[in-house]
Amino acid sequence: MSEPIPESIPTSFDRRSRRPAKRRALSPVSAQAATLTALFAKPDREIHVPKPGAPKGLPPPPEIVANVQGSSAGAGSGEFHVYKAARRREYERIRLMEEEVKREAEEKAFREKAEEMKKRDAAKTEKNRRRRRKQKEGKAAATATSKDTEMIEVEKKKGHDLGTTGGTHETVSIAEENGPVVEGGGLIIHDEND
């Protein structure tokens, strides 16, 4: 049995030891907290962050291939593991090339679909803009027409109230009394300087 003498106490648990206690990450959260603490301990140090889109693949094939297999029959069973490793590397290389082609095709399809949606949205927006503009012009024309009608009615009442002689009631609009009328955008502008 071990006795509680200084030699039997592990160094990390000994009170006299100057070495810091080992800290182990008990969970992913504590592991991340420890990593962040280490990063913030030296804020002036440069941090290397790997690029997210970096292709993960095999290293390029060697220029010089050692242990080249011949096509002669009767290769020994000792060469089988070399053949299997070469075949595995070649299959992995082909798989990576196929994945790259597939990813490029998916990206192209995505860009085309996004462009199509953008064009469709722009066309719909333009159609709605034209419709709103047309409604606005229609309302402005209707407002101008109703104002003209109201002005004529007001003038008729004024002409009637003035009691013009001769039995005929002539109506003279305010616009004719004040000078030429300039119309624009549903507004009637009276030029009083003439």
Q: How far is CA 148 from CA 100, 127, 135, 151, 178, in A?
A: 71, 32, 20, 5, 16
Query: What is the torsional sign of CA 75, 77, 79, 83?
Result: positive
Between residues 187 and 74, the one the model is more confident about: 187
Tell me the torsion sign for CA atoms 120, 126, 132, 138.
negative
8 Å CB contact between 5 and 14: no
The pTM for the full model equals 0.38
Tell me the pLDDT of the chain averaged across its residues.
76
> pLDDT value at position 102?
95
Quick one: average pLDDT of 77-81? 76
Min mean pLDDT across 54-58, 165-169, 184-188 is at: 165-169
Per-residue pLDDT, 169: 46
pLDDT of residue 121: 96
Task: Give 54's pLDDT tier (boundaries 50, 70, 90).
Answer: low
What's the confidence (pLDDT) of residue 146? 80
Q: Which of 8-12, 60-64, 136-140 has the highest mean pLDDT?
A: 136-140
Judge whether residue 183 has pLDDT over 60: no
Greater pLDDT, 24 or 130: 130
Q: Domain coordinates of the chain in residue numbers?
A: 80-162
Lowest mean pLDDT among 10-19, 72-81, 113-122: 10-19
User: Confidence class of residue 168 from pLDDT cuts 50, 70 and 90?
Assistant: very low
- Mean pLDDT of the 135-139 span: 91
Strand partners, 183: 188
- Coil/strand/helix, residue 3: coil
DSSP assignment of 36-103 equals HHHHHHSTTS------TT----PPPPPSS-SSPPPS-S---GGGHHHHHHHHHHHHHHHHHHHHHHHH
Contact between 13 and 4 under an 8 Å Cβ cutoff? The reply is no
d(Cα 101, Cα 105) in Å, to the nearest integer?
6
Residue with tokens 């299959």: 91
User: How confident is the model at residue 81, as a pLDDT?
Assistant: 81
- DSSP 3-state of 187: strand
Structure tokens at 186: 């549903």
Share of the chain above pLDDT 70, in %: 61
Top mean pLDDT of 17-31, 51-65, 67-81 is at 17-31
